[in-house]
Amino acid sequence: MVAIRLPVALFIAFFLSTHSASGSYPRAQNVSWKSTNFKTILTWEPKPSADYSYTVEFYVVGADKQRNPHCIRSLLPVCDLSSSLTDLNAYYTADVLSEPPLGATSDLIEFPHTSSARFCPYKDTDIGRPDFKLKVSEDKKRTTLYVTDPLTALFKDGHQLNIRDIFSHQLEYKVTYRRNKSTGKKIYYFKTNEIELKDLDQGESYCFNVQAYIPSRSIDKQLGELSQTQCSDDNQSIFEVYSVGVIAAAIFLILLLIGLIIAVTVVCCKQRKKALKSAKEGMPLRDV
């Protein structure tokens, strides 16, 4: 009977010691990738206390694990891996290890860790909004958009790369436009940065949006962020751009704001006069 209890007791002691040691270093949770224009950040929770830190290891399946020097025994729940993921077409996995703080030691051989989902920079990074300039020909028959490729967080030979440097001929731009004050839209796709539109009605004002389009990616990653809206005639009167209802609502809000300011000013003046009057009445009469 004693021989049976001894192994059980040893097992319980081993389990408790292991549980206690690993419990002092909580596992990271919600490990996820956030990437826009190849600015790739690994994030997780929670923020560590003074009792432990985080170390990030990343790797491609079948290859050795690597570490970013800025993400070793870190007290932050983020790690910038933009410059570390050098093979843009590879699929990376990251492990977030919970370890002792810098300078401290532990008896643990293997630290608690949490793995991320796989991430491929070329296929998974989000594409930010592009900028563009708009030019209308003198005869008002043609409108040309000059699109600027968004810059990325990547550099080569001291030169900052843009998204066309990386996606090359796979990069297209989706142009969405409509008549000003109209809800009907037209959509076209172009492979160049200089986009000329000829099928526009002469003298009409049109509004445009542009976004990057990469057809080789999965459907949910094909389109980039939508640009700001630009219209071909910025000299229109306010009555041409906005409906009567919108203008009336704006005037009402302005008048309401002015009324509130006047009301507050009047109340403050009355209270001040009342306070001064009370102060004068409370003063004792001086001897003659």
The residue-averaged pLDDT of 212-229 equals 97
Q: Do 140 and 216 sit in the same domain of this protein? A: yes
- The enclosing domain of 142 has a CATH number of 2.60.40.10
In a domain, 53, yes or no: yes
Q: How far is CA 147 from CA 134, 167, 219, in A?
A: 9, 16, 23
Taking the C-alpha atoms of residue 70 and residue 203, their distance in angstroms, rounded to an integer, is 57
Instruction: Check if the beta carbon of residue 224 is closer than 8 Å to that of residue 128.
Output: yes
What average pLDDT score do residues 212-237 get? 88
159 and 217 share a domain? yes
Do 80 and 154 lie in a common domain? no
Q: What is the pLDDT of residue 16?
A: 37
Domain-terminating residue out of 216, 236, 256 = 236
Does the reported pTM lie above 0.85? Answer: no
- Name the β-bridge partners of 35: 40
Domain endpoint, select from 70, 91, 124? 124
Residue 15's pLDDT is 39
Are residues 225 and 175 both part of a single domain? yes
| Tokens read off for 246 | 């919108």
Give yes or no: residues 98 and 195 share one domain.
no
Lowest mean pLDDT among 32-36, 110-114, 126-130, 171-175: 110-114
List beta partners, residue 94. Answer: 58
Residues 145 and 230 in one domain: yes
| Longest alpha-carbon distance in the chain | 113
Asked if the structure places residue 29 within a domain, the reply is yes
Same-domain status, 109 and 33: yes
Same domain (yes/no): 214, 169: yes
pLDDT at 109: 81
The answer on 104 and 27 residing in a single domain is yes
246 inside domain: no
The lowest-confidence range among 19-23, 70-74, 119-123, 133-137 is 19-23
The mean pLDDT of 149-167, rounded to a whole number, is: 97
Tell me the average pLDDT across 181-187. 85
Q: 63-67, 134-138, 202-206, 225-229: lowest mean pLDDT where?
A: 202-206
Per residue in 33-89, pLDDT (tens digit) is: 999 999 999 999 999 998 999 999 999 988 999 999 999 999 999 999 999 999 999
pLDDT at residue number 238: 55
Provide the pLDDT for residue 239: 54
Single out the residue in 100, 124, 148 at which a domain terminates.
Answer: 124
Residues 109 and 136 in one domain: no
Q: Are residues 142 and 208 in the same domain?
A: yes
Task: Out of 168-182, 204-218, 259-273, pick the least confident.
Answer: 259-273
Tell me, yes or no, whether 90 lies in a domain: yes
The reply to whether 203 falls in a domain is yes
| pLDDT at residue 218 is higher than 80 | yes
Name the band, by pLDDT with cuts 50, 70 and 90, for residue 244.
low
Judge if 232 and 136 occupy the same domain.
Answer: yes
What pLDDT score was predicted for residue 157? Answer: 93
pLDDT > 80? residue 11: no
Domain region containing 117: 22-124
Q: Is residue 26 part of a domain?
A: yes
- Total tally of structural domains belonging to the chain: 2
- φ and ψ at 274, to 5 degrees? -65, -40
**Ranges 28-42, 50-64, 130-144, 149-163: which has the least confidence:** 130-144
In a domain, 10, yes or no: no
In whole angstroms, give the CA distance from residue 222 to residue 210: 14
Residue 286 lies in a domain: no
